[in-house]
Structure 1
């Protein structure tokens, strides 16, 4: 089988697993299991907890002792069992610990999948810069397909969504062992400090980089809020006769999947925007796009306000990718080769680690604050989140000093 097709299948399944539950699990937990916002937020914050240390730990294992594709397979087979077990749980504490364990084996696979892809493309003498993006985009397609499959099968608010994720994880776990070997490097000198991005802490001595990383953490807190509570928000309209039979209420995952479709378009636009406007302006675009993302949720509804919800899905691509990908490119450009990998690890820890932990817990508290007798004032909660993003954007515009040169992000 063609190596690019094999890697495409791997990326498709990698994100199909995540898409099967990430967007809809919050609605299931707050609806069927009757978890409150704080509990739901804490469970989603397990992604942040796992992202702080597990990618670094398993990165060392893959670098020194076990083939990356085999470690990828072990992680997914373990994750399949954990998702299957999670589908049987109804108590908050049990669900929290099982999902934490699941995140501990899933989050490292995001990096392992990239490592396996880069190694295979290099082994077969293909152009990584040219050939990897078309392969990676199928990961987003897999995420969308999983959302649609769960939605159209009517299981988006049941434990069966975890069965779908478990089945996909099992398939990828087995499939991973057939991928081109990605052997440990015999000359690998990667240290514990570099694996966790800690030898890049010296970057905090630079005011520009310290400000960038701090704001990365603060904005990282916003990344999973709509994934955590978007489904529950749409479910809340079921009790209103005017909206009960609307498309957004009957098929919330399909409506929310527009966000992922938007991502594919904005990813392609990043080189143009970086070259034309520079990192500061692109980051500001992301921050104010988050204001729109949350604000339009607060103003919209599945009926006459459906167009506002659709607009919110469209701006998500700019909000998410202009921050994540552009931020990673900025770190790449501003660091020396000796600490480049560690700096990327530090960026991940600040955003998907510490930021996600803060966001998961704080957003749950906000939702609970606006919930009375089981009814949530969702517009008020969304406007609080929008106000947070607006504050971050204004402060970033004031304190982050960076002069953009047009040639910085030109194609080499």
Structure 2
């Protein structure tokens, strides 16, 4: 059960004015499939002078029960765009059946400029597409190049490290394994242009892993974030978790700095940043959404001159069956004992299943969406307290899904999805920067 001494039940909102300064709103598409929405995905990257956005569209002239996966390349300097659908081996737009929460694509660009997309997998074989030329928005099927061809894949989360290599986490189920769905961890090396499996980092009989996010520290270590459900799957999860991977030593450590053995479970020490609360259980989760429960998370890191690494988790949690999904934060300084501290930042109305978090070492920002409104930002500058501000350019646009990334100058870039602001089957996709950090 949780140590509630470390949980502040409602963080005080500051009277200090937020410094977050939204820029102009760019419309990427008004022909987005309503199923282009998720909480775990990574549909945005920025590399080579371009923003890269992946999304779904209804096939032109086709059934609204299907979708094409689109890649849009937008010039950061002048806003010009090119876009194309991911293609089958015969050059046709790939067509996928709609499957809300599972179709959604994740995208990243390696340091050679090749664009990678994973998409449309719900306990299915790999669906992986890669550009044949650098910086191209045209991608072709490369699924056969992935390792572990016999596993069933869901929830691909992909990120690029400082060296330009790519890292991927998925929920995977091995052939003939009817006991669990584990966390599979992969690396794409630009030196040989291929993927390899690093580890099955998390696995526990009777449970399933739900990947959330990947982050990198300046020493090249890879930080992983995920949550757990009862096997085989559930709309609600529990026990948000974190681990750090050192590629040089091929070792995993908890937030306290202790080495952990694989596979990691919920019982591994100092891995779980949101423990089970009073009355919280995995029982009854299948085909239901009881509370207390956990759902959706993202992660940010920042480092101090003394070399200390500070871990930030933004996540949603509800305390009862009928309660609203709160926005919470869990923090830790890596290498400290009893590392995790938690706080509730917003609980006044229902939120949707997508979050973003950035931190430049001074200003923490958590982006979230209210179900009855649009996108907001919670900001805390130098520990002065939290402000909670609507993102003015998207007020009235019904934004319900988002992703956030932070540039090296502290500017945030937001992917903002409004699944139904055109009609019941079609929505819009927007891009916006948020400045205001010194």
Q: TM-score per shorter chain, which class?
A: under 0.3
Relative to total residues, which structure has the larger helix share, 1 or 2? 1
TM-score normalized by the length of structure 1: 0.25
> Which protein has the bigger strand share?
2
Question: TM-score, structure 2 length as denominator?
Answer: 0.24
- Does 1 or 2 have the higher relative contact order (CA < 8 Å, sep 6+)? 1
